[in-house]
Amino acid sequence: MSADTASPSIVRIWLMAARLRTLPVGLAPVFVGTALAGYEDTFHPLRFVAALLGALFIQVGANLSNDYSDARRGADTEDRLGPVRVTAGGLVPPRQVLVATYVTFGLAVVCGAYLIAVAGWQLLLVGVASIIAGVLYTGGPRPYGYDGLGELFVFLFFGIVAVAGSYFVQTETLEWEAFALAVPVGLLASAVLVVNNYRDMDTDRRAGKKTLAVRLGREKSRVLFAAMVYGAYLCTPITWIFGPLAPWVLLPLLSVPLAAPVVRIVRNRTDGPSLNEALARTGMLSLIFCVLLSAGVLLS
C-alpha cells in the first residue's frame, strides 16, 4: 500500500475478513427451518436467536480460517480479482487472524452448547461437523476446497444441515419437508461459491487450487451457475405439490427479476468488479429468496 493511500480502519479490516457479502448465505437457512417449525405452531425465540448467532459465528470463523489458510498456501496473490484478503495483504498478522478464528468458533460453541442443552445431543454432531467442514475447506493436509468439492459441502452444510438443523432446534424432530425446503436454499448457497471461484479461477489455477470452476472451465461454470439459480426456483413447489404446504411457498418467484440480471452478469462478464457485484447480488438473492420462502411457509 502506498504512503499516500489512507489505511483502512481496524473495524473495516475485520469486516473485510468476515466477508460481509457472504454472510446472508449462513443466516438465510435458519429463517426457513424456523418458519417450517412455526407453520407447525412451534417457535422458541431464544433457540432461534442462538441458532442464528451460531450460524453467523460458524460462517465468520470459516471465512477467517479460509483467509489464514489460503495465505499460508499462497493462493491469495496480489493479482486476484476479488477483494484484498487481510492475511495475504499484510493488513493483519497471521497469528491474529488465527486467534480470531478460534474466538469466533468458540462463540459458535457457546451457542451450540445452549442448543444442545435445550434441544438434544444430536446437535453436538451437527455443530462439530459444521466447524470441521469450515476449517478443512482450505485447511488441513488435504483441503477439499482445493479438490473441487467446495460446492458440494456448501450445499450440504448451508442447505440440508442448516435448514433441517434449524427445524430440529425448534421441534426436536425431523420431517421430509425440512429436507425438501433445504434443496433450493443449498443450491443458492452453492451458487455464491460458484461465482467466487469463477472470479478467481485464473489465480487459483496458478496456485494449484483445483476448484470446481478450474476443473469445469468458464463456459461450464456459467452453465452450472445458471442451473443452480434457476434450479432453486424449480424445486420450490415440491412441498406444495407433494406435501401439506399451500401455494404461498411460490412467493420466492417474486425474486426472479433479481436473479436474471445476476445470471447475465456471470454469463457475459469476466472482470473483477462485475463478478464482485455478482457475488454480492447472489448472496442478497439467497437472503431475499429465503425470506420470501419463509413467509410463504408461514402463510400456508
How far out from the chain centre does Cα 245 lie?
Answer: 26
pLDDT of residue 200: 87
Can you read off the three cell numbers belonging to residue 10? 481496524
CA angle 173, 177, 181 (to 5 degrees): 120
Residue 299 CB neighbour total at 10 angstroms: 14
Q: Summarize pLDDT for 143-178 with one digit per residue, the tens.
A: 888 888 989 999 999 999 999 999 999 999 999 999
Q: Is the dihedral of CA 28, 33, 39, 44 positive or negative?
A: negative
CA angle 192, 198, 199 (to 5 degrees): 95
Cβ atoms of 271 and 9 within 8 Å: the answer is no
Which CATH code fits 10-299?
1.10.600
Between 227 and 85, residue with greater pLDDT = 227
Q: Summarize pLDDT for 193-212 with one digit per residue, the tens.
A: 999 999 988 888 887 888 99
Q: Summarize pLDDT for 97-155 with one digit per residue, the tens.
A: 889 899 999 999 999 999 999 999 999 998 899 888 888 887 777 888 888 898 999 99
- Single-letter amino acid, residue 5: T
User: Does the pLDDT of residue 17 top 60, yes or no?
Assistant: yes
Q: Summarize pLDDT for 31-76 with one digit per residue, the tens.
A: 999 999 999 999 999 999 999 999 999 989 888 888 887 777 665 5
Question: DSSP of 164-232, one letter per residue?
Answer: HHHHHHHHSS--HHHHHHHHHHHHHHHHHHHHHHHHTHHHHHHTT---HHHHH-HHHHHHHHHHHHHHH
Q: Is the dihedral of CA 68, 70, 73, 77 positive or negative?
A: negative
Q: Which of 152, 200, 177, 184 is nearest to 259 (CA)?
A: 184
3-class SS letters over 79-97: CCCCCCCCCCCCCCCHHHH
Band of residue 2 on the pLDDT scale cut at 50, 70, 90:
very low
Band of residue 291 on the pLDDT scale cut at 50, 70, 90:
very high
Q: Summarize pLDDT for 255-268 with one digit per residue, the tens.
A: 999 999 999 999 99
User: What's the whole-number mean pLDDT along residues 23-38?
Assistant: 93
Predicted TM-score (pTM) above 0.95: no
CA gap 99, 84 in Å, rounded: 20
Between 77 and 184, residue with greater pLDDT = 184
- Total residue count of the chain as it appears in this document: 300
CA gap 107, 176 in Å, rounded: 30
Between 4 and 16, residue with greater pLDDT = 16
